[in-house]
Structure formats: C-alpha cells, structure tokens
Amino acid sequence: MKSKSIGILAKPKFPEVKSTLHDVVAWLRARSIDVLLGTTSATLLGEQGGYQNTQLADKSDVFLVLGGDGTMLNAARLSGERSIPILGVNMGGLGFLTEVRLENLYPSLERVFANDFVLDERLMLRTHIHRHGETVAQGVVLNDVVISKGTLARMIELKIAIQGRFVTNLRGDGLIVSSPTGSTAYSLSAGGPIIDPAVQSLILTPICPHTLTHRPLIVPGNAEIDVTLTSKDDGAMATLDGQVGVAITQGDTIVIQTSEHRTRLIRFPESNYYDVLREKLKWGDG
C-alpha cells in the first residue's frame, strides 16, 4: 500500500510506548512516510503541536495504534465516516482488537506497505438519545451502548421495543446493547454469548435482571432497538463504548441501530479470531 500518511494514536500508560513511538516514527520517516501525530503522541516525543483527533482523522490514510483495546475503540470512533484502516499494536495484555504483538511491529508494517493484509470489516452501532422529541446526544461505537442505573438507585426500569414492536419491560441494573465485536467485552461478563464478528447481529444483554427469565437476546443486524427509561432515577447513564457517558432522565429513549459505516481492522491472513479467543479465554490447546 503506497500510504500517503499514517496517523499514530498512542496510550502513554504502557511502559514501552515512548521508546516504541520514537523508533517507529524514525523508521517511517526514513522511508519517506508522512507521519501524523496526535497531541498525546507529539507530547510523548517532545515535538511541538500534534493534531487534534478530528484533524488526525481528516488527514490520515491509515491509523497505527500503540496501546490496547481501549485505544482501538477510540481509533474506531475517530475513523468514522472515512472508515480508515486501523493497525493495532498490542502494548498491554492480549487484546481482542489489537492484531500485532510488539516484536512483530516492523515486519507487520512492511507487509502493510506490500499490500499483504486483509481488511476485517466490523459492524458499528449508531445511537441517538431522544428527549421530548429532540436528539440530545448521538454517537457511533464499535463495542456497545450501556444503559445503567445511578450509584444510589436500587434498579431501573426500561421499556424495550424492536422494530417499533414492544418486547418487554426490564427491571434490573441496566442493559447492554452490543455489536458482535463487543460480545467479548462487558456483555460477556454479564452472561452474554460470544458472537463471531462476521455474524451481522446485535445483542441485548440484561445486567442483573430482577426477573430471572430475562436472557440475552440476539436480533438481526438491521433491527432498530428503542430503549426508554421509564423509572425516575437520578444518575442513570447511557455509556458509549465505555468512554463517553450521557446522563439520561425519565422518558428518554435511546435508539440503537447498525451504522452505515464499518470499522476496518488490518489483519494478516494467518491470524485467526478463534486463536485469539482460545488464548484470551484460556480454553486450552485441544
């Protein structure tokens, strides 16, 4: 790939990030690759300026992420309408989204420039929060939208409709609406199923439901999900990808459907989703 520019997103909390960032920027510049640094990356390198996230998304042809799954989620949101291909380098524990181990960074970059990769397209969720007929917040996420109770509330009540048809009133600690990618995140710890990312679907996973017959529900990827907060609770929240929180009040409706945009992850043909699953979940060697 004759890449014109690589935008670099780094998470400073990982110990090797600073030295890795320094080395990879020098390596790319030596090959006349245009390197665009976010403000965090520029600060780490002691360089002036750096691009704000939106500028980085406008100007980059590829994102190189040095971090973990959280940094990848941020990159996915930034890639947005342009669906910028993302190469994730794992700087922490094994992640589901980061593709490359640190020791393979340079061979992997060589392969990207030689077009020896595939693009793994992941479904994203588009959400709008409606209050009195107006949209008060919106966003696009890769993993999940979580509607949850405040710290003091005993439970919240949610009315769930799919394709405009009433499904159930849910009482409990909340609800996770997840993409297949997000099925191995919060939804999994709340008892949700693991969905292969190639399956175009959405998952509704109740959080500690009051009625034990409420179970995770998988719906087609083209379904529209409407979740209305029916109880009066101070502190209830809608959280997008665990990173953006929106306060919600009684009567607010959270509308969730598949985005027309996809996250495009750079993958290498020999890597396998089930290998990552087995290693991450410690399923044994068969």
Instruction: Write out pLDDT tens, residues 159-201.
Output: 999 999 999 999 999 999 999 999 999 999 999 999 999 999 9
Report the distance separating Cα 46 and Cα 32, nearest Å. Answer: 21
Same domain, 143 and 229: yes
Q: What is the pLDDT of residue 275?
A: 86
Q: Return the sign of the alpha-carbon dihedral for residues 257, 262, 267, 269.
A: positive
250-266, pLDDT tens digit by residue?
Answer: 999 999 999 999 999 99
Task: Assess whether 69 carries a catalytic annotation.
Answer: yes
Residues 6 or more apart whose Cβ sits within 8 Å of residue 77: 139, 140, 141, 142, 241, 243
Q: How far is C-alpha 175 from the geometric centre of its chain's CA atoms?
A: 17
Q: Which two three-digit tokens encode residue 202?
A: 């959405």
Same domain, 71 and 194: no
166 φ, ψ (degrees, to nearest 5): -60, 135
Q: Which of 23, 34, 69, 285 is catalytic?
A: 69
Q: What is the pLDDT of residue 1?
A: 59
Report the distance separating Cα 44 and Cα 51, nearest Å. Answer: 13
Predicted model pTM? 0.93
Same domain, 23 and 89: yes
Q: Has residue 109 been placed in a domain?
A: yes
Report the distance separating Cα 6 and Cα 60, nearest Å. Answer: 5
Amino acid at 213: T
Question: How many domains are there within the chain?
Answer: 2
The CATH number assigned to the domain holding 26 equals 3.40.50.10330
Q: Which two three-digit tokens encode residue 112?
A: 């990207």
